[in-house]
Structure 1
């Protein structure tokens, strides 16, 4: 566990990178490994900008040489120095710019890679509650968008603002050397233009954000409609969906026009400001030349510098706007991902060592929300090797019981012990290595069947993988597929049926072979014959494992050693199937009111 230096209450997992929770600090954290390269790029960009802006100075030297050209002198003798200066400046501009470009090629992909790695490493340590509250696709997009925006923010500073600053500074210095008044005029123009561009960019930012939000909404509506196109056709709602989308598209048009009209006002400002600089500089320089205060070369240089300044400054407002957008994207990513970790290992956490597999809840109190307790001083012990079923209405506490064992949540008080070890004092990785879960709705990686099954034990041999698939009754459909074990299953396993996905999940857990096994309606998607076969295989492999089975279909747990009956966060009955039926209590009523083998959602 680690704390943020500026906020001691900000806790993060010890293995997570110490990412700052504020935008500037986060960007610098990502960049600090590249400090030397960034300084070198700044030097290259300064050299390139200086080379470009000093060209008018070389032109001035040429003009002065023309004015002082002695009769009979050769061209090379007269113009040697200014020509060499002009050639040198152009070569310097080319070499510095391309050297900077080469550094960008080396650093750019690495910077994005590092930012993505840091965000993903931090994201991994969030709790299941965090992932339940965020869309997976949104989080993945946020990681990618933040990494890209860190790059763009850096490039904006290095390749936009820094060279422009060099251009302005060198130009003002050169003009001050020509004439203090002329240099002061351009310096004042630069100051007012930069401040005005920054102000207009901040004013334009809400327009741009609203326009981006509406575009995102339109995109979401289109994706939603395309995803549900089958429903659209089945209900004959093609016209309705077009009209529905038309309304959102009108919002996009309206926001787009507001943004573009504001940008048009900005362009009016830019063109007027450029005209002021050009006319003002040329007029002022012409007046100074006429009065003999500057030469022809100075006049030519002043005009050239004014044009170069205008060329660099014209898109400054747009660059500011893009910069704010990139920084905003980074801020959104930091705000979304760099939050305190809810569940972390203690500083002195030890690996969990499971020998027998005894599970004990000792005075456990837990609530998802303050004032709405699920468990209040719950105490129960599951003996080593015992096979226990959990039954009860929806919301009675069965899933919470399992989630607490898996440490998806942590109790507010009390202890959960496995073989006498408080799981809050052990590492989460070691706990999850010792506990297997077969969920009701298993999710698979978009990888091959072999990779999905071997996820239970990465170094498993082909023979071990095939043995697990046979026990899970998955070998027949796998071998019937064209690519067999190398077949890709699609995102979240969409290319497989529900029953096939469940059998793959069972095979994966059988391969893991953890001493504690949790089943959450593990065979609910299977037909009766397959379920019976797999259940027999599971019974054989369970051996001395401690097994907890959550069931809505009571027939699937009737053969277990023990059944815990939950009601409103309490265990109201405890015993085997025959004993509980004989008592004719809560479990008896559940058994009697099963419809089609399933429990109703609530008591009737």
Structure 2
């Protein structure tokens, strides 16, 4: 790792813009990241063509096609399944296993290195358990955000783009309905994003504080018992846990409500598109194979978007945890060099011992 030293001017950027911190840790092992992204993009595109090939097979059976044509279509379908599985193994088992784990490593080393630059006064005013929890929260949140962004957001966005494209090639109005419903769903999630982040930030901050109290209480348990303060410590911990519980319950209920509204949007999209496809098939505008392919894509897309809604909530939770951790650690360092100070390398030192007698 090359970038373990964070200069003084970077703390403001990390505290105010967690995305900059994500980019800082992501640029290490970047070629593995590019390989992961390419595998996800190609694999998601291939997965959309699988129901299209199934629709083609239905059309071949309906027109009494030759066995050679059917075997060719089946072979091509098997190749698509094989390529999809190979790309999935490459993205997760080869590229991402190196890139994301190294991101988590950097996300733990950089905050810890920055902490060491603070004076003793900084640590005297803060609980060691809270700082320890913040470092690991940052590392865990970075890894979780990377996984969600790759295998959930990027994968789903590529599937959405290919779905709209295929729907437009079959019928422009069907593609328009797909695009409109998906756009409404995405705008809805962007609208609720700030609220989710706020809940996650409050919950994570309270949880970090409570964990810090627990760590410090257990660390100093001998002193607590010597002064018979067990009851007081229990009261403080219980009050903090109750505060965390209330914040968590409010956030959970908000997540459940937003997920329910998102599912209603998806159900409306499914019913509207299904009725329109049936009317087009009744008018013989599209074939039976095309309606099978579109319905398969629609069912898969509905489940994918529902999964995306939950993933978006988890993403904003992790982003809130990352933001809280960065704000707690990357505060201004109170020990700074004077302006235009030159760096000094100390290679030799002496210790003088003087005997002082007093009466």
Please give the TM-score of this superposition, normalised by the length of structure 1.
Answer: 0.52
Number of the residue aligned with 2:98: 106
Number of the residue aligned with 2:351: 515
Q: Secondary structure at the match of 2:27?
A: helix
Tell me the CA shift for residue 106 of structure 1: 1.9
Q: How does 1:69-468 map to 2 (within 5 A)?
A: 69-70=64-65, 73-74=66-67, 77-101=68-92, 102-220=94-212, 222-223=214-215, 226=218, 247-341=239-333, 342-344=335-337, 349=342, 427=344, 430=346, 434=349
| Contact 2:130/2:209 (8 A) holds in 1 | no
Asked whether 1:40 is paired with 2:32, we answer no
Instruction: Identify if the C-alpha distance between structure 1 residues 227 and 35 changes in structure 2 by more than 3 Å, giving closer, same or farther.
Output: closer
Tell me the CA shift for residue 167 of structure 1: 0.6
Select the structure that is richer in helix: 2
Partner Cα separation in structure 1 for residue 89 and residue 168 of structure 2: 31
Q: What 5-or-longer segments of structure 1 have no aligned partner? A: 1-10, 351-426, 435-513, 517-541, 548-556, 560-576, 579-604
> Could you report, residue by residue, the CA deviation over 1:70-120 in whole angstroms, capped at 9, with x for unpaired residues?
4xx43xx13123212211211111011000012111222222223333333
> Could you report, residue by residue, the CA deviation over 1:500-536 in whole angstroms, capped at 9, with x for unpaired residues?
xxxxxxxxxxxxxx334xxxxxxxxxxxxxxxxxxxx
Number of the residue aligned with 1:416: none
Tell me the CA shift for residue 311 of structure 1: 1.7
How many pairs are equivalent? 350
Q: How does 1:23-62 map to 2 (within 5 A)?
A: 23-62=18-57
Instruction: Identify if the C-alpha distance between structure 1 residues 99 and 262 changes in structure 2 by more than 3 Å, giving closer, same or farther.
Output: same
> Could you report, residue by residue, the CA deviation over 1:358-396 in whole angstroms, capped at 9, with x for unpaired residues?
xxxxxxxxxxxxxxxxxxxxxxxxxxxxxxxxxxxxxxx
Q: Which deviates more, 108-117 or 310-319?
A: 108-117
RCO greater where, 1 or 2, for CA within 8 Å and sep 6 or more? 2
> Could you report, residue by residue, the CA deviation over 1:297-348 in whole angstroms, capped at 9, with x for unpaired residues?
1101110111111121113233223222333333334434444543237766
| Contact 2:129/2:215 (8 A) holds in 1 | no
Partner Cα separation in structure 1 for residue 195 and residue 108 of structure 2: 31
| Contact 1:127/1:343 (8 A) holds in 2 | no
Q: Secondary structure at the match of 1:195?
A: helix
Select the structure that is richer in strand: 1
| Contact 1:30/1:111 (8 A) holds in 2 | yes
> Could you report, residue by residue, the CA deviation over 1:531-573 in whole angstroms, capped at 9, with x for unpaired residues?
xxxxxxxxxxx3xxxx5xxxxxxxxx851xxxxxxxxxxxxxx
Q: What 5-or-longer segments of structure 2 have no aligned partner? A: 1-5
The alignment yields a C-alpha RMSD, in angstroms, of 3.3
Q: Secondary structure at the match of 1:315?
A: helix
Instruction: Identify if the C-alpha distance between structure 1 residues 86 and 345 changes in structure 2 by more than 3 Å, giving closer, same or farther.
Output: farther
Partner Cα separation in structure 1 for residue 190 and residue 176 of structure 2: 21
